[in-house]
């Protein structure tokens, strides 16, 4: 299904299993769209439903989920507003497509991982878990959220030219301080998403106790 009725151009693909399953919230990188991570989502969790919005901010002609002032310098007010807007979209989509929001797992890459991390920090009730590929610290919340036991996978490149190792470790520490159960997976290489880390994330996700929620009809 594809629609912009909920405020975002997006795709929704129901679970094919017919059994209770999580919903993956797929959040693309700069220049991606609602189709970019569909195959990734199917690989990570073959039975999951897939909800994939297109970022509403344009940088030139490239969609993003929030504005930045320069590379690595975020417009924090826009980021906060866009994070709450995304959360409202997920809540509305759960009603439209009849999935339980208690089983939503964010899967984000680069810009998408950054807004997913922002959602963990600003709207901790939104996500049951998160898979973050090459994220940065999106912001420092005014108060520490409660993420007790929340599973978070962070995939990072040891030689990523866009995200320094210290930045990745700072995000992991920020989430752990909030109580999240963080797995930090390092691999050789840069910012590109490669099969090895997808395989690692898939194995990690298969071992987590994510709420499997039935469709609500």
Closest CA to 50 of 28, 21, 26, 85: 26
Active site residues: 110, 160, 191
In SS3 terms, the chain reads as CEECCCCCCEEEECCCCCCCECEEEEECCCCCCCCCCHHHHHHHCCCCEEEEECCCEEECCEEECCCEEECCEECHHHHHHHHHHHHHHHHHHHHHHCCCHHHEEEEEECHHHHHHHHHHHHCCCCCCEEEEECCCCCCCCCCCCCCCCCEEEEEEECCCCCCCHHHHHHHHHHHHHCCCEEEEEEECCCCCCCHHHHHHHHHHHHCCCCCCECCCC
CA 207, distance to chain mean position in Å, is: 18
């Amino acid at each position: 299904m594809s629609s912009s009725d909920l405020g975002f151009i997006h795709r929704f693909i129901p679970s094919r299993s017919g059994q209770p399953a999580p919903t993956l919230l797929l959040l693309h990188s700069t220049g991606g769209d609602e189709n970019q991570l569909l195959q990734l989502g199917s690989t990570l969790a073959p039975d999951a439903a897939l909800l994939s919005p297109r970022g509403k901010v344009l940088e030139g002609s490239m969609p993003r989920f929030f504005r930045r002032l320069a590379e690595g310098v975020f417009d924090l007010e826009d980021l906060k507003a866009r994070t709450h807007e995304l959360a409202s979209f997920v809540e509305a989509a759960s009603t439209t497509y009849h999935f339980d929001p208690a089983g939503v797992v964010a899967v984000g890459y680069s810009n998408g991982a950054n807004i997913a991390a922002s959602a963990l920090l600003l709207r901790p009730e939104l996500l049951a878990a998160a898979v973050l590929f090459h994220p940065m610290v999106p912001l420092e919340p005014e108060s520490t959220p409660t993420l007790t036991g929340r599973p978070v996978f962070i995939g990072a490149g040891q030689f990523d030219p866009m995200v320094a190792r210290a930045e990745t470790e700072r995000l992991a520490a920020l989430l752990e301080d909030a109580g999240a159960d963080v797995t930090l997976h390092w691999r050789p290489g840069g910012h590109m998403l490669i099969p090895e880390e997808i395989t690692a994330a898939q194995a990690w996700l298969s071992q987590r106790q994510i709420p499997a929620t039935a469709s609500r009809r």
